[in-house]
């Protein structure tokens, strides 16, 4: 048989090159649909969003198609390329679904370098594996491989792309185009912010609404810290010079508790509680005491971003000002950083951080070491931890905090302590505390109604608030009886996530769920209650009434979370110990709330305000990138 006849025989039944090209487009669309189907939200919801914003279809299909094309070149078969693309994007989308369920955080490109997180999740955390989704991805990939074997392609029209070197070149060009688009089109914040989504600050929601492939590639260029215009390292270093040694400040013990999703939305007129059913009875009683200061803190995000609130309070650097794209402040920390821990430690305090969660959450195991905390404890350090459902209880943490203070007092060492709780973490489903758990009824005012879904979420959430309030009461009861001076700071990290698109907020007419034009408070979605309370010993040594008056707080008692740490330093006699925190107190007096480009009413001119904020941003950048604390 001649070579020409052999060649003809080998190509009989083969897919022509133009058929492969057409199939590449169709298969890229199919794999994109599979990837979107694996997301947490329903495919029909995504389709509804994409129909209104069709550019999202292209932005999600482009990375899928380019990876498919690269693999098709490499294997010489479009079906094999589609199989590999389906495996990569499908399984990553499944992982994204799991991560959002477990951590309320999507899969980011940086997770490729944090493989130990995967092992930690699977090995030590209750994870609901989406077996149906994974099986569908594997079946789809297998079917594509079979089709590739049954329908082999004919050689392409370009001789240069035939053979292994040519196929490798085609694969490299495809991946090169993807890399270029990642650094240009996908990196565009203007494009990303142009899409209409329910809450741009809620990153998992953005992934669900804009599509996993597009958001994943967009975040290749996020978590940067933008260099402020006009920044000079020598100028910022000069700002940091000076400060007192803190030797003349009273050695009061400071205990800060940031409670998961702690809020006072139950105080809204839509609810009608009795004295017995009130979820916040201890908070209400304590804020009326003479040694109490009640505030609201404007935290960085809505319904998520616990670590961002920690970052703002402890460092005085504001998450929302790091860059237009950074949504997780802890992800930009990779070196020693000034914090409240270091200020108190400089005066001989024992500094502690407690969190009954896994140390890999938000990279806390490293970040708190970089913050300078001396005694850091995570879930593995609490072997006798008590659980309510899947989370460690606030009641258990009360005992741990009291025990830590006992030890510090016994050693005659003042204590600076920070706890981040976890019990009232979402999701607020009926089975959160077990299938047979009976929740107290929801007390709504006359004429107020909501759906069964919202009622369930609120019942479950308010049960967690009751336990958080009980933790506050237990700490106050213990500290009240002590002769050692103690200041307790108790606040929430963010408002709760009560359904997609703020379902419960909208149904009840709560301000965070109202259209922006109808809101009377532009910070309502970010405000959490903050109680600062002193026992009699601390009130006496601090001259409480005079110290509170000297803070010069705004009439509405609302401040940015980034100012809270500096306020605590001033209240406990350490306002001048560190120039950075001293400046934050000066800034707070001028403009008590800064939320992105939104400011509370302020006492300075626009030019003065701009100068104050500019200095804050430049100084923040220096601390993150240059300072050696």
Domain made up of 233-238+253-625: CATH architecture:
3-Layer(aba) Sandwich (3.40)
Instruction: Work out the angle at residue 445's Cα, subtended by the Cα atoms of residues 443 and 447, and round it to the nearest 5 degrees.
Output: 125
Q: What is the pLDDT of residue 115?
A: 52
- Whether residue 503 contacts residue 454, with contact meaning beta carbons closer than 8 Å, is answered with yes
Long-range (24+ apart) CB contacts under 8 A made by 592-599 are 592/553, 592/554, 592/558, 592/559, 592/560, 592/563, 593/298, 593/523, 593/558, 593/559, 593/560, 594/318, 594/560, 594/562, 595/298, 595/320, 595/522, 595/523, 595/526, 595/560, 596/320, 596/321, 598/522, 598/523
pLDDT beyond 70 at 110? no
- Give the pLDDT of residue 165: 78
* Mean of all residue pLDDT scores within the chain: 89
**What was the pLDDT predicted at 360?**
73
Q: What band does 3 get if pLDDT is binned at 50, 70 and 90?
A: very low
pLDDT at 247: 79
DSSP letters, 365-423, are HHHHHHHT-SEEE-GGG-TT--EETTEE-HHHHHHHHHHHHHHHHHTT--EEEEEE--T
Using DSSP, how many helices (H) and how many strands (E) does the chain show? 24, 12
Residues in CB range of 389: below 8 A, 6 or more apart: 432, 433, 434, 437
pLDDT tens digits, one per residue of 235-268: 999 999 988 887 788 899 999 999 999 999 999 9
Average pLDDT over residues 527-538: 98
pLDDT higher at 115 or 304: 304
The pLDDT value recorded for residue 597 is 79
* Backbone dihedral angles phi then psi of residue 217, each to the nearest 5 degrees: -75, -30
pLDDT at 117: 43
The pTM score is 0.73
Q: Is the pLDDT of residue 60 over 80?
A: yes
Q: Are strands 253-259 and 527-534 parallel, antiparallel or unpaired?
A: unpaired
DSSP lists the bridge partners of residue 417 as 255, 352
Give 14-43 pLDDT, tens digit per residue: 667 677 788 889 999 999 999 999 998 888
- Residue 615 in tokens: 């200095």
Q: pLDDT value at position 270?
A: 97
Tell me the pLDDT tens digit for each residue of 296-307: 999 999 998 999
Helix, strand, coil percentages, rounded to 5, for the chain: 55, 10, 35
Answer whether residue 12 shows pLDDT above 70. no
pLDDT at 103: 60
Is it the case that residue 121 has pLDDT exceeding 70? no
Chain length of the chain:
629
Please state, in angstroms and rounded to a whole number, the distance separating the CA atoms of residues 28 and 128.
Answer: 29
Look at residue 366 in the predicted model and tell me its pLDDT: 83
CB 488 within 8 A of CB 479: yes
Q: Where are the domains of the chain?
A: 14-221, 233-238+253-625
Exposure string (b/e) for 282-307, b if CB count within 10 Å is 16 or more?
bbeebbeeebbbbbbbbbbbbbbbbb
The H-or-E segment that residue 51 falls in is helix 43-52
How far, in Å, CA of 468 to CA of 487, rounded? Answer: 18
Distance CA(303)–CA(298), nearest Å, equals 13
Q: What percent of the chain has pLDDT over 90?
A: 70
What pLDDT, on the 0 to 100 scale, is given for residue 531? 98
């Amino acid at each position: 048989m001649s070579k020409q006849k052999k060649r003809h025989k080998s190509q009989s039944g083969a897919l022509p090159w133009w058929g492969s090209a057409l199939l590449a487009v169709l298969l890229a669309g199919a794999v994109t649909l599979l990837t979107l189907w694996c997301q947490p939200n329903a495919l029909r919801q995504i389709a509804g969003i994409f129909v209104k914003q069709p550019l999202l279809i292209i932005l999600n299909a482009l990375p899928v198609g380019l990876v498919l094309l690269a693999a098709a070149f490499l294997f010489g078969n479009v079906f094999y390329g589609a199989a590999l693309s389906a495996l990569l994007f499908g399984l990553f989308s499944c992982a994204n679904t799991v991560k959002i369920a477990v951590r309320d955080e999507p899969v980011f490109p940086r997770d490729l370098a944090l493989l130990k997180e995967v092992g930690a999740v699977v090995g030590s955390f209750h994870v609901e594996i989406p077996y149906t989704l994974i099986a569908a991805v594997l079946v789809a990939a297998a079917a594509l491989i079979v089709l590739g074997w049954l329908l082999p392609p004919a050689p392409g029209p370009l001789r240069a792309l035939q053979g292994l070197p040519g196929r490798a070149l085609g694969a490299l060009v495809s991946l090169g185009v993807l890399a270029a688009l990642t650094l240009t089109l996908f990196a565009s914040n203007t494009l990303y912010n142009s899409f209409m989504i329910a809450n741009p600050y809620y990153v998992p929601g953005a992934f669900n609404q804009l599509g996993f492939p597009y958001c994943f590639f967009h975040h290749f260029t996020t978590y940067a810290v933008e260099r402020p215009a006009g920044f000079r390292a020598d100028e910022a270093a000069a700002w940091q010079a000076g400060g007192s040694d803190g030797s003349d400040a009273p050695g009061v013990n400071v205990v800060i508790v940031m409670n998961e999703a702690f809020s006072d939305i139950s105080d809204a007129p839509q609810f009608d509680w009795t004295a017995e059913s009130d979820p916040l009875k201890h908070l209400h009683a304590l804020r009326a005491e003479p040694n109490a200061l009640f505030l609201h803190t404007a935290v960085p995000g809505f319904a998520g971003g616990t670590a961002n609130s920690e970052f703002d309070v402890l460092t005085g650097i504001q998450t929302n000002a790091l860059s237009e794209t950074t949504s997780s402040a802890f992800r930009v920390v990779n070196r020693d950083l000034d914090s409240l821990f270091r200020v108190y430690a400089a005066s001989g305090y024992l500094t502690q951080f407690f969190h009954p969660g896994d140390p890999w959450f938000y990279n806390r195991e490293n970040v708190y070491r970089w913050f300078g905390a001396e005694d850091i404890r995570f879930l593995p350090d609490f072997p006798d931890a008590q659980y309510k459902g899947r989370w460690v209880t606030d009641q258990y943490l009360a005992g741990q905090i009291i025990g830590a203070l006992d030890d510090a007092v016994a050693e005659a060492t003042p204590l600076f302590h920070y706890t981040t709780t976890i019990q009232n973490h979402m999701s607020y489903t009926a089975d959160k505390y077990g299938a047979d758990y009976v929740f107290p009824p929801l007390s709504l005012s006359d004429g107020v109604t909501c759906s069964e879904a919202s009622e369930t979420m609120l019942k479950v959430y308010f049960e967690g608030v009751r336990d958080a309030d009980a933790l506050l009461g237990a700490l106050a009861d213990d500290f009240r009886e002590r002769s050692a001076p103690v200041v307790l700071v108790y606040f929430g990290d963010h408002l709760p996530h009560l359904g997609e698109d703020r379902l419960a907020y909208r149904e009840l007419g709560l301000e965070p769920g109202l259209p922006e034009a109808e809101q009377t408070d532009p910070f309502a979605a970010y405000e959490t209650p903050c109680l600062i309370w002193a026992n009699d010993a601390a009130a006496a040594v601090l001259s409480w009434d005079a110290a509170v008056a000297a803070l010069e707080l705004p009439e509405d008692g609302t401040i940015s979370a980034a100012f809270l740490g500096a306020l605590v330093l001033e209240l406990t006699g350490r306002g001048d110990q560190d120039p950075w925190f001293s400046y934050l107190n000066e800034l707070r007096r001028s403009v008590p709330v800064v939320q992105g480009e939104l400011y509370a009413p302020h006492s300075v001119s626009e030019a003065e305000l701009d100068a104050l904020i500019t200095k804050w941003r430049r100084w923040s950048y220096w601390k993150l990138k240059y300072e050696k604390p």
